[in-house]
Amino acid sequence: MTEFRHTYWGRQIQNLAHELSKLAIACDIELGKPGLAERILKNDSTVCGKNNPKAFEQMRQHLTALFNVEKGAV
């Protein structure tokens, strides 16, 4: 059962991370920068190199989901 849980949560996190990468490219954002995730979660779209409101909102939602999934996986 534990093995299944780890596999399930790992897959969920991997899928969200993959989507975040695609959305970061669409918004021209370097996700590895310190403090960037917090700014995205605070709805600060000035972090974007390209104006893409739809992709930014999706990225914000995915980032929120990723944090929630990580909490559930622990």
Q: What is the pLDDT of residue 13?
A: 83
| Domain range enclosing 10 | 2-73
Match 């780890």 to its residue by tokens: 6
In the chain, how many domains are there? 1
In whole angstroms, give the CA distance from residue 70 to residue 63.
11
Residue 72's pLDDT band, with cuts at 50, 70 and 90, is: low
In whole angstroms, give the CA distance from residue 13 to residue 2.
17
CA atoms within 13 A on the CB side of 3: 0
**pTM to 2 decimals?**
0.79
Q: What is the pLDDT of residue 4?
A: 53
Residue 5's pLDDT band, with cuts at 50, 70 and 90, is: low
